[in-house]
Structure 1
Amino acid sequence: MNYKQIVTAFFLVFSLLSCSKDDGNTPVPLNALATPFASTASNVTNTSFQANWVLVPGAESYLIDVSTDNSFSTFVTGYDALSNSGSTVAISGLSPAMAYYYRIRAKRGVEVSNNSNVITVKTTGVAAEDPTFLKVKANALANPFFVGVAVKAQQLNTGSAYDVVLKNEFSSITAEYEMKMDPISTGSGTYNWVAADKIVKYGNDNGINVHAHVLVWHNAVPNWLKDFSGTDAEFALEVKKYITAVVTHFAGKVKSWDVVNEAVDDNGNMRNTVFLTKMGPNYIKDCYQWARDAANAAGDTNLLLFYNDYATSTNINKQNKVFAIVDDLKASNLIDGLGFQMHNTYLSPAKTQMEADINRAVAKGLKIHVSELDIQVNQNNDITTFTNERKLAQKDKYKEIVKIYNALPAANKYALTVWGFKDNESWIPYSTDLNHPGNDWPLLYDNNFEIKSAHTGFLEGLD
């Protein structure tokens, strides 16, 4: 190669090295403005943080975008291409306990670089809670549904805190215990209606829906029936007598009944109860038939009959057995809806598990009742106070569940019922049934009837 050829080759290589391609087609000069790299936020407070990035050679300034969504479809006021010449900027005027997103572009003259990577930062503190009443927002939906709460008769006194909150917030009630067999049935053919009547009358007098819970549950069998010495056939007649009497007594006063509760064990088999032992595997269907017959005989032809159980979203064997029972009842037109208790934790079940479980019932044309909702935040007893982190996690889980429910077809919606009012009155803390080792804060209100972040999460789920 001669000298002229060497020089020509040198300039050719130099020309190639002086160019690069940003998309495989358009040549970009080597000294084009580079894309900045955004780094983690610092100095995070309740209402501000410091955005940080790495300086780009040749940049004259930087444009900062801040948004409340990672797609940047909207911008925080004042932070849509905010210009800054340094490598940091203070972002202020924000809301506590909220997620924000920022990105950076470099600028030189009219030239602007691509957007940087996106940084997520959550402000500290506790967000101001939304005081909107739950039923008000639910009733304003295109496809509204009942918002319910579990109650005790002693709470339903005019002017009490329970009375005020219930009338403002809820459109449905469920007796936590006092409409079960044990408190009502005092002997063969004898009944104590006092507490149950008070609950039903309160609902009827105040235009509040009453979901009746429950006719048959293995943990609420009165001693006289548990120790029944007659034949199995006579035992079955006692159960029939009880169901007929109770459904007849409340005919036209309640909209729905849980007929059988928790008939499936955690192993996916029928639970070994006194009802199964004495009445055989068809006892569930018999109970539903007796309830339907009693309602029809009393002229209550619109009464809705539900089956109710827990942990079906995470326990597929149990879920399969529940739906086998449902299919059998539905084939005989003996069931209208399915109750999903939803005694959940802030970590479980996953959204996809709940959706799959509920949608399985929707596909069968059943009404859906999220019937005993509460969300544990201390199931492992790893906190001694209700931390801000757990408050926000619980809020997100409430929002997730309500959002799933709200998305259901109108024909499948019935009610979403929270299992109690205040944290300190929940059945969950120190529960031996749950093997819960310590305190917890599972409901929408704290011990002083102040709304929690969970309440705001419920409201956000209705958006």
Structure 2
Amino acid sequence: MRSLRSGFSLASALTGLATLGALLAGATAPARAADAPLRDLAAAKGKIIGSAVNPAKLTGTYGDIAGREFNSVTPDNAMKWESVEPSRGTFNWAPADQVVAFATAHGQQVRGHTLVWHSQNPGWLANGTWTPAQLSTVLQDHITAEVGRYKGRIAAWDVVNEAFNEDGTYRSSIWSNGLGQDYIANALTWARAADPGAKLYINDYNVEGVNAKSTALYNLVRSLKERGVPIDGVGLQAHLILGQVPSSLQQNIQRFADLGVDVAITELDVRMQLPSTAAKLTQQAADYKAVMDACVAVSRCTGVTVWGFTDSDSWVPDVFDGYGAATPYDESFTPKPAYRALAGSLGGGTTEPPGDGCTAVYSVVNQWNSGFTGQVRISCSGGALSSWRAGWTFGAGQRITQSWNANCTQSGTAVTCSNASYNGTVPDGSSVTFGFNGSWSGSNPVPVVTLS
């Protein structure tokens, strides 16, 4: 997590490095991943557990977790209009195809996101001058092309995204201004024609509890059902603030379900004001659990999708100044208490796994002009490990060039090291050490290691 990065500059002094490890506090191991992946726990309850994913990152540790833990994936941006149709009639399917291929290879569903939105539209569309007839044709052509391309491969589409203002009035957009409110019914109808088997949703934010905005959405869905317009579900985005899960969440899910539609939590994250603390992470875990509990309690709630599973991939810090740490995994891909809370809500074990008494300490043992040798010592006292993985985030562009006694990989600033075949077992009262060479420039701050 961003808040767990620790600064300790060595640029001005190279002496005393042998004792540096004694100056650094170890990082107590957090909850490790559940014994069963989240997707297995969710499937046992007939639910979806999904994540938004970046197609460019679906390799290495990121891809491993995305494939192992989730039974559904949503492209973060790859299916939005500006990505798919950057110029009229010219399509770029490659990133979206990557996500669909990944899902197919990993036995996952795909949630298509999104066909009709006021944002992230290409310039030719947003800045064009259109008659209602022309704009209607443009919209129908786009929906037909995109939904048709993935016919039979997309479980559900967020057809219309964010149609309402906070007070329940319709949002001013190219669609509502140019076509009137029936753009929603038309978009759903065209999507159904392009793929009769896909579930069709309307998706919005700040509609998780009973309020003016969610009531407007409720009234729209009821009207569409009465008119015979194809509508299968409602997506509640759930971009939440720490400690602010609406008390009426389950009631709200149920009232939509009572209309005869499915409900999905489509973009869950719980942001906190940085720095992160143990108390905030505990509250965050309770918030994640409250959302999943509400979904599990309503049979027509299909499941929960998190909007990115790792803090290194979260949109929150770029949009909400001073906030972050919003997802179930930290930036080093270590599961946070929120992960275990999701597992517990889905019926997984809630007790901490063996190894809770184990810590990891990072130290620099030698340093020269452009390089350094580092080591991590994993020690157990009151716990034990049968296998281990240590992770950290470099704060100044350092790169690992070689490692020993561990299998180390680096993706951007995030480093993950797992045990070798001969040193995975760390009994109570024992320790193991692994080392690495790396490069640095300017400064070499010491990170905090998380152990899983």
Provide the TM-score with structure 2 as the length reference: 0.68
Taking the TM superposition and a 5 Å limit, the aligned residue runs for 1:143-162 are: 144-157=46-59, 160-162=60-62
**Of 269, 276, 282, which residue of structure 2 is paired with 1:386?**
276
- Aligned equivalents of 2:31 and 2:58: distance in 1? 29
**2:218 alignment partner in structure 1:** 323
2:324 aligned residue? 440
In the aligned structure 1, how far is the partner of 2:72 from the partner of 2:296?
16
Residue 200 of structure 2 corresponds to: 305
Local SS of the residue matching 1:148: strand
Deviation per residue, 1:212-258 (Å, 9 max, x gap): 01001111211111122242211111111111111111101111111
Residue 449 of structure 1 corresponds to 333
Aligned to 1:185: 85
Which of 391, 396, 419 in structure 1 is aligned with 2:286? Answer: 396
Give 2:94's aligned residue.
194
d(CA) in 1 for partners of 2:167 and 2:29? Answer: 41
Q: How does 1:18-417 map to 2 (within 5 A)?
A: 128-129=31-32, 131-132=34-35, 133-141=37-45, 144-157=46-59, 160-295=60-195, 301-314=196-209, 316-331=211-226, 332-350=228-246, 352-378=247-273, 384-409=274-299, 412-417=300-305
The 3-state SS of whatever aligns with 1:268 is: coil
CA distance in 2, matches of 1:368, 1:315: 14
TM-aligned CA deviation for residue 130 of structure 1: 5.1
Percent identity over the alignment? 30
SS in 2 for 1:308: strand
Please state how far the C-alpha of 1:367 moved relative to its aligned partner: 1.1
Specify the SS of the correspondent of 2:253.
helix
Which stretch of the first structure deviates more once superposed, 199-208 or 257-266?
A: 199-208
State whether residues 39 and 68 of structure 2, in contact with CA within 8 Å, keep that contact through their aligned partners in structure 1.
Answer: yes
CA distance in 1, matches of 2:218, 2:118: 20
Q: Name the residue aligned to 1:423.
A: 311
CA distance in 2, matches of 1:148, 1:268: 28
Whole-Å Cα distance in 2 between the matches of residues 285 and 206 of structure 1? 34
Distance verdict in 2 for CA 1:393–1:230, change over 3 Å: closer
Shift of 1:266: 1.3
Structure-2 separation of matches of 1:170 and 1:339: 18
Instruction: In structure 1, give the amino acid aligned to 2:67.
Output: K
Secondary structure (helix, strand or coil) at the match of 2:181 reads: coil
Measure, in 2, the Cα distance between the counterparts of 1:165 and 1:461.
Answer: 20
Q: Secondary structure at the match of 2:324?
A: coil
Aligned length: 318
SS in 1 for 2:34: coil
Rounded Cα–Cα distance in structure 1 between residues aligned with 2:318 and 2:92: 30
- How far apart are 1:414 and its partner, in Å? 2.0
Kept in 2: contact 1:401–1:461 (CA 8 A): no
Counterparts of 1:346 and 1:230, CA distance in 2: 43
Code of the aligned partner of 1:437:
D
Taking structure 1 as reference, are residues 156 and 430 closer, same or farther at Cα in structure 2, changes over 3 Å only?
Answer: closer
Contact preservation (8 Å) 2:272, 2:323: no
1:81 is matched with none
Is the CA contact (8 Å cut-off) linking 1:445 and 1:451 kept in structure 2? yes
Distance in 2, matches of 1:130 and 1:222, equals 40
3-state SS in 2 of match to 1:392: helix
Judge conservation of contact 1:398–1:457 (CA < 8 Å) in 2: yes
Q: Which runs of 5+ in 2 are unaligned?
A: 1-27, 348-452
RMSD: 1.6
State the distance in 1 between where 2:99 and 2:224 align.
29
Q: Is the 8 A contact 1:228 1:235 kept in 2?
A: no
Query: How many angstroms does 1:163 deviate by?
Result: 1.4
- Could you tell me how far apart the structure 2 residues matched to 1:366 and 1:302 are? 15
Q: CA 1:128–1:256 in structure 2 vs 1: closer, same or farther (change >3 Å)?
A: closer
Q: Which string of whole-angstrom CA distances, capped at 9 and with x for unpartnered residues, describes residues 306-332 of structure 1?
A: 110011134611111111221122221
Q: Give the structure, 1 or 2, with the largest relative contact order (CA under 8 Å, sep 6 or more).
A: 2
Letter paired with 2:203: N
Distance 2:57 2:161 in 1: 24
Q: 2:203 & 2:163 partners in 1: Cα distance?
A: 9
Conserved 8 A contact 1:217-1:261: yes
Q: Post-superposition shift, 1:416? A: 0.9
1:459 correspondence with 2:362: no
- 8 Å CA contact 1:313, 1:356 repeated in 2: no
Secondary structure at 2:327's aligned position in 1? Answer: coil
Contact 1:126–1:388 (CA<8 Å) still a contact in 2? Answer: no
Residue 348 of structure 1: how far off its partner (Å): 1.1
Q: Which has the larger radius of gyration?
A: 1
Q: Deviations over 1:88-111 (max 9, x none)?
A: xxxxxxxxxxxxxxxxxxxxxxxx
Tell me the alpha carbon deviations over residues 367-407 of structure 1, each in whole angstroms, 9 at most, x when there is no partner. Answer: 111000001122xxxxx421111011111111111111111
> Following the alignment from structure 1 to structure 2, what is the Cα–Cα distance between the partners of residues 396 and 349?
9
